[in-house]
A and B are shown apart, each in its own frame.
Chain A
Amino acid sequence: MDLGYVTLQVFNGLVNGAFYALLSLGLAVIFGVLRVVNFAHGAFYMLGAFAAYLLGLDAGVGFWPAMLLAPLGVAVVGVVAERLLLRRVYRLDPLYGFLLTFGLTLVLQDAMRIRFGLQGQPYATPDQLGGSVSLGIVAYPAYRLFVIAFSLAVSLATWYVIERTRLGMVVRAAIERPDLTRALGIEVGRWVTGVFAFGVALAALSGVLAAPMRNVSPLMGSEAIILTFAVVVIGGLGSIAGAIVAGFAVGVLASLGAVVNPALENIVVFAVMAVVLLVRPAGLFGSIESA
């Protein structure tokens, strides 16, 4: 087996993993506080990419400002959705939140299809990252390396905030021991909108990151969200670290599967999920309680 090829695939896997990590991280944070599995997470990822694309097209805003502006804009959409829709189903079975956000996904995705068509729109790689970097044996596009590093940094920063700050303590408590938190009288409710907005912003940020690598298209979120669900089942929704580690690990495993046979790339993810369900149904980092 060609070592250069394997190296390239491992890095491709880390890039995919970077997206899984950011998406499942947002999903876990939202689930922890709202008890809603946000099906629309993929749609917000797609909206983030479109926001960057439209900012560039209509306002001449480049990639770097878009990294800040697009997540903010999409977070506003998220806040509206939370206030108008999600708020009404918190007291119900989580299945209703799932169905509600599924409906929201259909609406957002189809509305974008009607407006922009299914054909992907190109988005330029920022000039500073246009070249490639030598990894010793092979060269690798600089932008992709940036994606890995940036995602890792955001993941670690999020982890730090949640582990080390008071806000984080509440969120962590809510995620890891939801019943206990409520029993202790910690008011999770007032954090809800902010946490949802944060999770949505993370999804949108992933979308902006994806835009220069993949095309900006209305369906880009749908495949991402299902693979993210598989990652979440593997890692367990009950842990921030779990989301990050499972995200990167699954990305790399899938790419190594592609080395054996390209057809295996996506299938590997689900095979891993099946094994985890057999061996540790609650997920690698999950607690039975949140099952």
Chain B
Amino acid sequence: MRAIRIAAVVAAVALVAAACGGSGPGGGAAVKLTDGKLVIGVINDQSGVYADLSGKNAVEAVNMAIADFKAKYGDNALGGPIEVVNTDHQNKADLAGQKAQEFYERNNADVILDVPTSSAALAIAKVANDEKKLYINITAATTDLTGPQCNKYTFHYAYDTYMLAQGTGVWVTQNLGKKWYIIYPNYAFGQDMEKSFRAAVEKTGGNVIQSDGSPFPNQTGDFSNLLIKAGQLKPEILGAMQAGGDLVNVVKQYNQFKLKDQKITLAIGLLFDTDISALGPDAFAGVVYTTPWLWNMDDQSRAFADKFLQKTGIRPTFAHAGNYSAAWQYMDAVRRAGTDDADAVVKQLEGYSFSDFFIRNGKIRSEDHWVMHDALLAQVKPQSEVKEKFDYAKVLSTLKAEQVSRPLADAGCKK
């Protein structure tokens, strides 16, 4: 009788411990944090053209991930408090690098997340390498992060220009037109988009007759010079590689200059739901684009989107969801490693295979730290087919992880 009671108590204690203390191998091996707490830094644009698509709401997504992680593994899951610090880099690469160094050195940040604006992302990757701390990029697209400028401490989550070009560039060239005029914001992101799309278009038998850069940031929001030029060059496809607020302006002026009537079809390199919100779905209706994720693609995505809507009042973009997912996977790697020591966490992440509501068929390539996963080819619906707010797109097909991941041989990554 007594033995049974003791056994029951032991079992109950073990259960509680398992529930609270995490479920690592050995049943709750405590995590030891190097400085007693885990600090996650989020650096992004909180006032400029990319503020809507990530911005403050991306910080909120990371906070949600922490809350959910604690709910699952217990408040002390990682052996100490988990803090978030965030700042606005104003899309300036130098400011981003400076803030990253400050986060790592002064705030003891263990990891930095998000960072739209590819030039800023590249600057932070350098700082991460110098400081030997982690950086998981989500919202910057340049393939250089996993190419010539890759390093041991930098990971690339969510999407890159190669993925977008393999999805959109190939499909548009096959189905809509082979003669392209590409316009791109003239900095790391746009330059890389131009390169990736050119390669994808030419591979598919198309032809880029010309490409031109636009200033970034474009203070005036005026793209009329390039659109006038498009009217003169008469391509079949106008490939707009601008993003966020810039893209909104391009689309607006594309409609103003009535280029559609001249049989110049608009192709969009990178599209977020927030861009569609800005002008309404009809301004984009029919546009086919590539995205790593859509908030209403299935039930588990929708579940996250519902919670996010409650917190922020909007549906999440893939950048918001990506920040949540990356924060979660980082914390989980710390849990598995039993420490926040950067080298140990890197070891946990490299080669790791996983799926969550955001990443499908995910695998973190050890060679270049690109997070392989499936993407979607989607099409913007006209207003008449929109059933609820932010319901803008339908999925045409799934793009397999291998299809949208740059072959390692082309990456040129030497860590």
Residues of A within 8 A of B (CB): 2, 4-5, 8, 12, 113, 117-120, 122, 125, 130, 132, 141, 213-215, 217, 219-220, 223, 258, 262
Q: Report the Cα distance A258→B228, complex, angstroms.
A: 13
In this complex, the member of B51, B220, B258 whose beta carbon has the largest number of chain A beta carbons within 10 angstroms is B220
Cβ-defined contact, B47 with A120, below 8 A: no
Q: Which of A2, A117, A130 contacts B47 (CB 8 A)?
A: A117
**Number of B residues contacting the other chain (C-beta, 8 Å)?**
26
Known contacts A119-B47, A120-B245: does B220 contact A8 (CB below 8 Å)?
A: no
Known contacts A4-B232, A120-B249, A258-B225: does B220 contact A215 (CB below 8 Å)?
A: yes
Cβ-defined contact, B48 with A117, below 8 A: yes
In this complex, the member of A118, A130, A223 whose beta carbon has the largest number of chain B beta carbons within 10 angstroms is A118
Q: Contacts of B224 on A, CB cut-off 8 Å?
A: 12, 141
Q: Report the Cα distance A4→B219, complex, angstroms.
A: 27
Cβ-defined contact, A214 with B222, below 8 A: yes
Cβ-defined contact, B249 with A119, below 8 A: no
Cβ-defined contact, B225 with A262, below 8 A: yes
Residues of B within 8 A of A (CB): 46-49, 51-52, 90, 217, 219-222, 224-225, 228-229, 232, 244-245, 248-249, 252, 256-258, 278
Given contacts A118-B48, A122-B252, A215-B220, 17 further A-B contacts (CB under 8 A): A8-B228, A12-B224, A113-B47, A117-B48, A117-B51, A119-B48, A119-B49, A119-B245, A120-B219, A120-B220, A120-B221, A213-B222, A214-B222, A215-B219, A217-B219, A219-B219, A220-B219
Q: Contacts of A122 on B, CB cut-off 8 Å?
A: 221, 248-249, 252, 278
Q: Which of A5, A141, A223 contacts B219 (CB 8 A)?
A: A223
Shortest distance from the beta carbon of B239 to any chain A beta carbon, whole Å: 19
Closest chain B residue to A265, Cβ basis: B225
SS class of chain A's interface: helix, strand, loop or mixed? loop
Q: Contacts of B47 on A, CB cut-off 8 Å?
A: 113, 117-119
Cβ-defined contact, B232 with A214, below 8 A: no
Q: Report the Cα distance A287→B219, complex, angstroms.
A: 35
Q: Report the Cα distance A223→B215, complex, angstroms.
A: 14
Q: Which of B46, B90, B221, B278 contacts A214 (CB 8 A)?
A: B221
Cβ-defined contact, B232 with A119, below 8 A: no
In this complex, the member of B46, B49, B257, B278 whose beta carbon has the largest number of chain A beta carbons within 10 angstroms is B49
Shortest distance from the beta carbon of A57 to any chain B beta carbon, whole Å: 14
Known contacts A122-B252, A141-B256, A262-B225: does B220 contact A2 (CB below 8 Å)?
A: no
Known contacts A2-B232, A117-B51, A118-B47: does B221 contact A217 (CB below 8 Å)?
A: yes
Q: Report the Cα distance A120→B219, complex, angstroms.
A: 8
Q: Report the Cα distance A118→B51, complex, angstroms.
A: 9
